[in-house]
Structure 1
Amino acid sequence: MSQGEGQGRGATSVLDAPTGVVGRTRPRHGPRVTVAQLLAAQLEDSQAPTTRMRATDLATRIPGARAGSGPLPVADPPTSPAPRRGAHRAAAPAPPAPARRTPAPRPSPTPDRPAPAHRVPAPAARPTPAPTAIPSPVTPSASPESPPTGTRTRRREGRRSDTAVTSMVVLVPAHDEEAGIADTVEGLLAQETPEWLEMVGIVVVADNCTDRTVEIASRYPVTVIETSGNTEKKAGALNEGWRRAARDADLVLTMDADTVLGPGCAAAMADELRERPALGAVCARYWAAEGRGLAWRLQRLEYSRYDDLRELRSWRVSVASGAAAMYRRAALDEVAAHRAAGPWDGTSLIEDYALTLDLKTAGWTVGAARGAHVLTHPPRTFRELWVQRLRWGRGGMDECLKRGWTPATRRDIGAYGLFVLSVFFRVLFLTMIVLMITHAIPFRYALIGLIPLGVMWLERVTSMWRLPGRTWRDVTLVAVLVVEDLYGFFLEFCAVVAAWRCLFARRQAW
């Protein structure tokens, strides 16, 4: 897909501002305001119509947050000045913000919400600014674009600057997402940023859309880029948005169009990258959004247990999840130097995992931000879940086979080996049970054999107990064990089929 096939739409006042934003000195004190307020103020300056947004209250559905408590606490470094207006120009008046802000609940958005009287005009073309030095809060002692051969740990960077401003652009690839794009954009507009972080643009990449995604997204103060003829799915949409609107940003936040950021999520991820110079990417902790049905309830429990696993691993992750991930510009530039289209691999079924392996190969590390929470919509039926897990399993195995045994893949290859052993012993156990029944061999029980079963049951109960919004149905599913065991069989069968297709089927399917 060529670079000119997309067409920008919607208001782009923040991206169309004069250059010179990055690296300038900011006042050390100022009120904390939301991105929604400052973007709306910019549109009023340019006499463009705006729509007033209200953030969705996620406090009751995200662990670690309380209703009415505002954004999740993000510890600023000792040298960081007070909060400020994220992207407002100095000339605009800054109204004082209250000490505590309680987001007003809003009804679930529908595709039939009234549109404003006028469309926000598309931005006029402006010259591309010349590349500048990376104005991150830390000054690198050596260029990260050229790490020494064989180096896996990123070098220590110098002491951070107190006045440098870090710019951030958000990329939201969307394909026929009219049902959830409004929630996604409103969650972004409600984000609050510290004084050193500036959200300079929100870009919705409408990829081959045939529904009202473009129409709904254009009602907000964001940039809408339409693509047509893209054959590389999500990776192609991300590369298009990165080339056209995010190459000059210090941080790039990517997220799915069916995901909503929790309070303070963007600031928490940026702060994690600020505190740990070796990180090339950081992802959020994702939870299942509100839903119904057995498939949704089982995935909700699965997400909770996976979050426990991340905590046990000290927030180290195997993949920077595409639901919401933030990248350094230096890391993306280093990967893009070896791929003409952009950092994301269009030939991979799971582009987030492929990019994670590329970052690890280049010497960067990846992790999860403890204070960053998002709500994402899991598959609604077992059929949709089957298609998703086949793609995940096939894509992960393809990437490992493509790269072979390397420092970046050996942990994941080892995990696949343990999975093969687990499946083998499970089949062996079931075979033994069948033979005992068919040959009328009496069963004998030993109390010591119940110890592993008790440990497994206790682990599931404790994990379920930390699940936000749990009900008696969740307690029943975990207590009886059988339903979750059958769900485990289902996931293992998906993985076995994915492995078979990876080894013997040439064609990859999304």
Structure 2
Amino acid sequence: MIGILIPAHNEEERLDDCLRAALRAAAHAMLAGEPVEVLVVLDSCTDRSAQIVSQYPVLALTIDARNVGQARAAGAQQLLERGARWISCSDADSRVADDWLVAQLGLGVDAVCGTVTVEHWQDSLDEAAQIRYHRHYQARDGHRHIHGANLGVSAQAYRRAGGFEPLACDEDVQLVRQLERCGASIAWSHRPQVVTSARLDSRARGGFGDYLRQLAQTE
């Protein structure tokens, strides 16, 4: 089966949209009926996240680590134990495209690093900061971005690379670097699409939200 791994820390505002999108991707006709299990790792949640997750046909794992690397590692381990041949990672503040899984698997590689699209900038960044973002972001095949919100890896390659480390941030970067060292085939692709939040109050220090905050502070 295919596993979708979503870590969450106090994401009650965005979880509904995230899970609806994941379940649509899991039901795509081109998966030919292969089972897909969605697992939300509820890490130190004190809001309604657990209640929201319980309303959907998904799995939930509760931990108290306040550490996204530990959350992803724990979730990946559970999915592997349940028989996942492929693990697709996203984030609770993101929405995957309907053909997200199909696009990842269709690339025929050990791992896929996808891009993200910011849907609503709202008041997160002024126009100058948005221009700086788009100037540096490579929304194309052959990019070199690594996002936990759009990352896929085969079970075999994940095990060979040693899995996610318990890092407070950049656990996704660490895994990809290990995959490279192990000789895994990696697609840096724009085909798997994910829409993500432009919020600056990021849940993980050093993550995408902090990167946007740095852009906002750059003159």
Same fold (TM over 0.5): yes
Q: Cα distance, 1:242 vs. partner? A: 1.5
1:186 aligned residue: 20
Q: Does 1:281 align with 2:116?
A: no
CA-to-partner distance for each residue in 1:259-301, whole Å, 9 max, x for gaps?
Answer: 00123122111111x2xxxx32113321112241261655654
The answer (yes or no) to whether the contact 2:170–2:206 under 8 Å persists in 1 is no
Give the partner amino acid of 2:144.
S
Give the partner amino acid of 1:186.
R
Q: Cα distance, 1:208 vs. partner? A: 0.8
Q: Cα distance, 1:368 vs. partner? A: 3.0
2:180 aligned residue: 360
Q: 1:344 to 1:193 in 2, by over 3 A?
A: farther
The answer (yes or no) to whether the contact 1:296–1:380 under 8 Å persists in 2 is no
State how 1:242-253 maps to structure 2 within 5 Å: 242-247=76-81, 248-253=83-88
1:268 aligned residue: 103
Aligned-residue CA RMSD (Å): 3.0
CA–CA distance in 1 between the matches of 2:88 and 2:125? 29
Q: Does 1:327 align with 2:157?
A: no
Q: 1:302 to 1:329 in 2, by over 3 A?
A: farther
2:190 aligned residue: 370
Q: Aligned pair count?
A: 213
Q: Does 1:292 align with 2:118?
A: no
The answer (yes or no) to whether the contact 1:205–1:238 under 8 Å persists in 2 is yes
Q: Cα distance, 1:347 vs. partner? A: 3.7
The answer (yes or no) to whether the contact 2:165–2:174 under 8 Å persists in 1 is yes
TM-score (norm 2): 0.83
The answer (yes or no) to whether the contact 1:173–1:206 under 8 Å persists in 2 is yes
CA-to-partner distance for each residue in 1:143-202, whole Å, 9 max, x for gaps?
Answer: xxxxxxxxxxxxxxxxxxxxxxxx211011000000001100000112214145624211
The answer (yes or no) to whether the contact 2:70–2:167 under 8 Å persists in 1 is no
SS of alignment partner, residue 3 of structure 2: strand
The answer (yes or no) to whether the contact 1:168–1:201 under 8 Å persists in 2 is yes
Q: Cα distance, 1:390 vs. partner? A: 9.8
Gaps of 5+ in 2: none
Q: Cα distance, 1:378 vs. partner? A: 1.8
The answer (yes or no) to whether the contact 1:289–1:375 under 8 Å persists in 2 is yes
The answer (yes or no) to whether the contact 2:170–2:207 under 8 Å persists in 1 is no
Q: Cα distance, 1:324 vs. partner? A: 1.4
Higher normalized strand content (fraction of residues)? 2
The answer (yes or no) to whether the contact 2:42–2:63 under 8 Å persists in 1 is yes
Q: Cα distance, 1:320 vs. partner? A: 3.2
SS of alignment partner, residue 22 of structure 2: helix
Q: Cα distance, 1:370 vs. partner? A: 3.0
By relative contact order (CA 8 Å, sep 6+), the higher-ranking structure is 2
Q: Does 1:213 align with 2:38?
A: no
Q: 1:358 to 1:222 in 2, by over 3 A?
A: same
SS of alignment partner, residue 379 of structure 1: coil
Identity fraction in percent: 21
Give the partner amino acid of 1:344.
F
